[in-house]
Amino acid sequence: MTATRIRRCAADLGLFLAHAVELEAEAAARYDELADSLEAHNNPEVARLFRELAGHGRSHRDQVAGIAAAHGPLPKVAPWDFDWGGAAESPEAPTFEDVHYLMTPHHALALALRCETRARDYYAAVAEETDQPGIARLARSFAEEEESHVALVRQWLDRFPPPPPGWDEDPDPPNYNE
Amino acid sequence: MREARACTPQDYKSDVKPVWCPGCGDFSVLAAVTRAFASMGLETHRTALISGIGCSSRIPAYTSTYGFHGVHGRALAAASGLKLARPDLTVVAFGGDGDGFSIGGNHFLHACRRNVDLTYVIMDNQVYGMTKGQASPTTEPDWCESKLTPAGPGVTPIQPVPLSIACGANFVARGFSGDPNMIARLIVDAIRHPGFSVVQVLSPCVTFRPEQKDWKGAVHPYGREPADNPMLAMHAALEDDGFGVGIFYAGNRPPFAPQAEATASVEQLEAEFAP
């Protein structure tokens, strides 16, 4: 269990759902952006993987958005007002800086595993902190969904062991300036 | 400036895919800009992004607003002209440290003192990345990785925040690409503040300055309230180590906005360009 304290969104169902929708939407969009980026840099294998992860993300985003729609209008939250327990961005979004143009499927899946784990821990923390049964029930179910993603990514990782050292050596490097 | 219906950041992205190196800090700035515009509900047809030349200056192509990917160092000249001719538009200029402080250095000085109501976002990676890694005006004097300056550039780097305050910019802030939500907030504050606003974004170049990944551990909150007195702001900015993030200065100088009679309507101008 993470030590992160998630106070604001654990106190209000609308606020919690607004956070959940943002978390899922941002993850899906980010995986698509990374897929685009790796396509542009001629790494189709990892691009396909990111695109597949984006697809899973979109599916979960739509599922959460459907639940949120049944709740009614959600509060409008500015990007900087989301409470991600001290993190700069939502827990499931891979950070831009964690990618490399020569990265392998192993690196992509290791990155995805960190993101899915953070999302699971985030929802679990909300479930633990809230005193509202409705929020606790939803947060637990979202945490279980994320846990299933964690298990799935672990299975995929088994198929892609770490590459040998030197995976990032480029015989035609972009910064060769002789 | 017009703020209207609620939008999503995706509404402000174009179909053009960025060609920045994977891991580049500029991706975060693009995310921040689209989040800022979405939170303000800016109308895409009343918003214009103007840039110069360089990696970061590609940003207008990646957004769905109006944009002009202009001439090297001349983003602020074009942006100032646009804002003065069309004060109803939200105008945001973008560029890098080379475009802004070397090729466009003279335009930068006078844009600060002119104080037209627009925002300038400088994506500062302390290197010319598009031309494969040469020292820029903000590069440290002892950076020796370029064969053009094997012993380092050896000259004092420009400090964008104090320079902006000294030249008369009315709002000066610094952000870090590792926190795109904070950059989004700074951009919103910059756009809403009257006059010329400067937002320096520390945006690592992972290809030519891989050591800049360490910036994540170096940045820290600026830790003071924004000053409205330029002398106080300058003193604090000079004391800062270059990694403090936040708003340094929010002044009260009225923007330069001459009241001139229009010589032609927008419709008449459009008719001239009609096929």
Residue-wise pLDDT tens digits, A67-97:
999 988 999 999 999 999 889 999 999 999 9
Contact A88 B132 (CB under 8 A): no
Is A75 part of any domain?
Answer: yes
Closest CB to B6: pick one of A25, A76, A95.
A76
For B159-176, what is the mean pLDDT? 98
A52: domain CATH number is 1.20.1260.10
For B176-187, what is the mean pLDDT? 97
Is B261 part of any domain?
Answer: yes
Residue-wise pLDDT tens digits, B227-274:
999 999 999 999 999 999 999 999 999 999 988 788 888 889 889 988
Contact B27 A80 (CB under 8 A): no
Instruction: Say if residues A74 and A21 touch (Cβ distance below 8 Å).
Output: yes
CA within 13 Å, CB half, B54: 33
Q: Is the pLDDT of residue B7 over 60?
A: yes
Is B70 part of any domain?
Answer: yes
For B150-159, what is the mean pLDDT? 96
Predicted complex ipTM: 0.91
B133 touches chain A (CB under 8 A): yes
- Residue where the block lists tokens 């990155």: A111
Closest residue in A to B62 (Cα) is: A33
B18 touches chain A (CB under 8 A): yes
Residue numbers of the domain that contains B43? 9-273
Is B1 part of any domain?
Answer: no
Chain A residues in contact with B146 (beta carbon < 8 A): 177
Is B52 part of any domain?
Answer: yes
Q: Is the pLDDT of residue B20 over 70?
A: yes
Question: Within a 10 A sphere around the Cβ of B213, how many other Cβ atoms?
Answer: 14
Instruction: Say if residues B224 and B236 touch (Cβ distance below 8 Å).
Output: yes
Name the B residues in 202-221 with CB < 8 Å from any A CB. Answer: 204, 206-208, 213, 216
Q: Is the pLDDT of residue B118 over 70?
A: yes
CB burial class (10 A; 0-12, 13-18, 19+) of residue A97? Answer: buried
Chain A residues in contact with B216 (beta carbon < 8 A): 97
Residues (pLDDT < 50) of chain A are: 1-3, 178
B14: domain CATH number is 3.40.50.970
CA distances from B30 to A96, B60, B117, B120, B223 (A): 11, 9, 21, 14, 26
Which residues make beta-bridge pairs with B187? Answer: none
Is B4 part of any domain?
Answer: no
Is A174 part of any domain?
Answer: no
What pLDDT, on a 0 to 100 scale, did the predictor assign at position A86? 86
Contact B180 A89 (CB under 8 A): yes
Residue-wise pLDDT tens digits, B22-73:
999 999 999 999 999 999 999 999 999 999 999 999 999 999 999 999 999 9
What percentage of chain A carries pLDDT values higher than 90? 85
Is A2 part of any domain?
Answer: no
Tell me the average pLDDT of chain B: 95
As a whole number of angstroms, the distance between CA B14 and CA B131 comes to 25
Contact B181 A29 (CB under 8 A): no
Q: What is the band of B4 on the pLDDT scale with cuts at 50, 70, 90?
A: very low
Is B114 part of any domain?
Answer: yes
Is A171 part of any domain?
Answer: no
Instruction: Say if residues B162 and B237 touch (Cβ distance below 8 Å).
Output: yes
What pLDDT, on a 0 to 100 scale, did the predictor assign at position A1? 40
Q: Is the pLDDT of residue B3 over 60?
A: no
Q: How many domains does chain B have?
A: 1
For B138-155, what is the mean pLDDT? 95
For B203-226, what is the mean pLDDT? 95
Which residues make beta-bridge pairs with B90? Answer: B47
Q: How many domains does chain A have?
A: 1
What pLDDT, on a 0 to 100 scale, did the predictor assign at position B265? 87
Interface test mutation site (partner B, options A46, A77, A96, max chain B beta carbons within 10 A):
A96
Task: Record the pTM.
Answer: 0.93
Residue numbers of the domain that contains A35? 13-159
- Residue B234 CA to chain centroid, in angstroms? 20
For B108-136, what is the mean pLDDT? 96
Is B206 part of any domain?
Answer: yes
Contact B177 A33 (CB under 8 A): no
Is A45 part of any domain?
Answer: yes
As a whole number of angstroms, the distance between CA A174 and CA B133 comes to 10
